[in-house]
């Protein structure tokens, strides 16, 4: 197939070119897929998109008019694509449901431990010749209660790592993971989880129902000084509410690998520009907030798996008109 790749970086070109051989004709483009850039897909049978390409109904109508027949997501989440509208217009959609859940789970625990032991602050201090330990006190994770919201592929691996550290792990999931339950993870109602945890980590997809899952009412139920980790999707957290909770001390630690307005920021080098997002800038002022730019997935294993599965999705759709990795259309 002729495939137009949007939002590509050097690492996308390397991994896809190596995995593709001569099978599909790949055209790598730097811009995001938007209503303004959709015409770049002209002449393509398929487009390949990433987390911050917003493929809403208007873009899908344009893709259909250009003769595009398949949207290949090179990520797991599909909240940025109107799957139902694509299917209505006869456009297939495929995603990469799992490429390395270990990458994200390991990164999640790295964020927890970094924040707790303040390694992000210690690193800078030592480089300045400041070897003071004042303000760097952490706590033992052993024996602490960690609550996981979502126990799919990533949540389940995170649970296993945390059990290995000696944590008590509780979880909420509308479809509790039986393997986790067998390992000793207690499934509890969401409201109970909010009040029972020292650490809360998000591992569920973003859906219209759980937009701003973590907002004022949820924060009010949490323990003082709670640690919140989000490696899932930014809009699960109401950022304004969490800033107020950081100011009051209700939230004691916050790590974000995703941010609700990340589309304007992440994956780009903006070091020579002024960040216009005042909410994001306020977050950066807290010593107990650690933000990274959607890199939890970013291992060589994950990039290779993403390329292999995305190309297999394209081949399957080209040959059968179907894709085993089609996301559900709501």
Q: Which residue lies nearer to ligand NAD by CB, 144 or 153?
A: 153
Adjacency order of strands within the sheet including 25-28: 25-28, 2-5, 46-49, 70-73, 92-94
Residue selected from 52, 80, 232, 313 as contacting ligand NAD according to rule CB under 6 A: 232
What whole-number distance in Å separates Cα of residue 291 and Cα of residue 294? 9
Rounded to the nearest whole angstrom, what is the least distance from the CB of residue 167 to ligand NAD in the complex?
A: 19
239 binds ligand NAD (CB under 6 A): no
φ, ψ of residue 241 to 5 degrees: the values are: -65, -40
Beta strands in 30-73 (DSSP E): 46-49, 70-73
Asked about 294 being catalytic, the answer comes back as yes
200 binds ligand NAD (CB under 6 A): no
Q: Which residue lies nearer to ligand NAD by CB, 44 or 232?
A: 232
68 binds ligand NAD (CB under 6 A): no
Q: Could you please report the per-residue DSSP string of 160-207?
A: HHHHHTT-EEEEE-SS--HHHHHHTPEE--HHHHHHH-SEEEE-S---
Catalytic member of 233, 240, 260, 268: 233
Tell which positions 136-155 bind ligand NAD, by CB under 6 A: 149-155
Residue selected from 233, 239, 290, 325 as contacting ligand NAD according to rule CB under 6 A: 233
Q: Nearest 5 degrees, angle CA 76-CA 310-CA 266?
A: 50
Asked about 233 being catalytic, the answer comes back as yes
Residue selected from 69, 74, 144, 203 as contacting ligand NAD according to rule CB under 6 A: 203
- Exposure on the CB side of residue 196, measured as CA atoms within 13 A: 18
309 binds ligand NAD (CB under 6 A): no
DSSP-assigned beta bridge partners for residue 27: 4
234 binds ligand NAD (CB under 6 A): no
195 binds ligand NAD (CB under 6 A): no
Q: Nearest 5 degrees, angle CA 46-CA 51-CA 57?
A: 60
Burial of 97 (0-12, 13-18, 19+ CB in 10 A): middle
Residue selected from 12, 53, 173, 316 as contacting ligand NAD according to rule CB under 6 A: 173
Residue selected from 205, 211, 282, 315 as contacting ligand NAD according to rule CB under 6 A: 205
Q: Please list the active-site residues.
A: 233, 262, 294
The residue ranges that bind ligand NAD (CB under 6 A) are 76-77, 98, 101, 104, 149-155, 172-175, 203-205, 210, 231-233, 257-258, 294, 296-297
């Amino acid at each position: 197939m002729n495939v137009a790749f949007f939002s590509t970086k050097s690492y996308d070109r390397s991994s896809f070119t190596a995995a593709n051989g001569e099978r599909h004709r790949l055209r790598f483009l730097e811009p995001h897929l938007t209503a303004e850039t959709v015409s770049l897909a002209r002449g393509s049978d398929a487009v390949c998109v990433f987390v911050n390409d917003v493929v809403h109904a208007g873009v899908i109508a344009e893709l259909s008019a250009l003769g595009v027949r398949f949207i290949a997501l090179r990520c797991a989440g599909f909240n940025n694509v109107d799957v139902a509208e694509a299917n209505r217009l006869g456009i297939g959609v495929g995603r990469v449901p799992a490429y390395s859940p270990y990458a994200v789970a390991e990164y999640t625990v790295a964020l927890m431990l970094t924040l707790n032991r303040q390694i992000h602050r210690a690193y800078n201090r030592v480089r300045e010749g400041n070897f003071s330990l004042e303000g760097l006190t952490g706590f033992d994770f052993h024996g602490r209660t960690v609550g996981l919201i979502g126990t799919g592929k990533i949540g389940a691996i995170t649970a296993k790592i945390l059990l290995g550290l000696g944590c008590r792990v509780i979880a909420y999931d509308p479809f509790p993971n039986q393997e986790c339950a067998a390992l000793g993870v207690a499934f509890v109602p969401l409201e109970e989880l909010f009040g029972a945890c020292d650490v809360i980590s998000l591992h569920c997809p973003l859906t219209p129902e759980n937009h701003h899952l973590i907002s004022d009412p949820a924060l009010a139920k949490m323990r003082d000084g709670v640690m919140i980790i989000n490696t899932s999707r930014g809009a699960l957290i109401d950022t304004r509410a969490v800033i107020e909770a950081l100011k009051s001390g209700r939230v004691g630690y916050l790590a974000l690998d995703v941010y609700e307005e990340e589309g304007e920021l992440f994956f780009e080098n903006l070091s020579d520009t002024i960040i216009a997002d005042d909410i994001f800038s306020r977050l950066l002022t807290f010593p107990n907030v650690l933000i990274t730019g959607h890199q939890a997935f970013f291992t060589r294993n994950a990039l290779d798996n993403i390329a292999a599965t995305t190309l297999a999705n394209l081949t399957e759709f080209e040959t059968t008109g179907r894709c085993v990795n089609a996301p559900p259309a709501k």
